[in-house]
Amino acid sequence: MKGVPLRVPHNIMSRLIDGLRSRFPDSLDDLVPDRIALARRFQRTFGRRLNLKNPQTFNEKLFWLMLYYRSPLVTRLADKYEVRTYVAERVGSKILNELYGVWERVADIDFAMLPEAFVLKVTWGSGMNILCPKKSELNVRDTKEALALWMSRNYYWSWREWCYKNIKPRIICERFLSDSLWGTPPDYKFFCFGGEPRCVQVDTTRFTQHGRDFFDLDWQLLPFNCGVYPSSGQTIARPSNLDEMAELARRLSNGFPFVRVDFYAIDGQTLFSEMTWYPGAARLRFIPESYDRYWGDVLQLPGRKL
């Protein structure tokens, strides 16, 4: 008896193909184990071998966490949709930005039903955002192409940041945020070690002249920088809700060796942004370099003592 050809509806086949494409590597580099790939990346970035047996610097310890600290909760909290439930359970839902929709496919988004201003985010990566302050000026075709591209490949393969590997890819739509003083609201990013916020990274005017400054919790400017953005050179006033943000960061980071908890302060109102496990994909170039070791001494790895 001859077999009957299996006919799969086109829409189901498309989903199967998209799912396989996002789950499996598509280059020979992707076949390299995480430990080797990360060691190579560290060598290229910092010009020395990665010390995993006895990591000393902040970046070395972030690499260690990528490889060996693999709690399912980390995956859940790296997911820009799932983290909302965790925040609501821990500190309440009032600090969550308004959510307009969530979709598993680009084709399911009805742009006609979206408000005049909004933000679209892909949930399994970093920097996969479409900011739309005015829908009438949005190029919908280009937006769909960008979203489809981001949904087609697991962001984990970009830098081997394990937290993204097992996230279910989705698209969320949230309220577009603006601030009466800054326009684009500053990001307040709390570096939390063992559940205690120790410093705040403040990113200002991100889409024009991106500046980055670091403060302690008494709002004293700290004498270092890191990453690719220079100090803003501005006098940044202490936000009126700094203590509230610090306490929320403390509660959300409790139980983790390290996580960065990010907020916005919109005209004094605290809004949650995200939780980041490996800032800069552990490629942070500290200036001066001694602060890489300074913060490395603060970060206590699970099962290790300072």
Q: Report the distance separating Cα 215 and Cα 233, nearest Å.
A: 13
Burial of 208 (0-12, 13-18, 19+ CB in 10 A): exposed
Residue whose structure tokens are 């709002």: 219
Q: What is the per-residue pLDDT across 52-98, written as a single tens digit (0 to 9) for each?
A: 999 999 999 999 999 999 999 999 999 999 999 999 999 999 999 99
pTM for this predicted structure: 0.89
What percent of the chain clears pLDDT 90, i.e. is strictly above it? 81
Residues 117/101, Cβ–Cβ less than 8 Å: no
Q: What is the per-residue pLDDT across 167-194, written as a single tens digit (0 to 9) for each?
A: 999 999 999 999 877 778 999 999 999 9
Identify any residues that bridge with 185 across adjacent strands, giving them in sequence order: none
Helices 242-253 and 83-91, interaxial angle, to 10°? Answer: 110
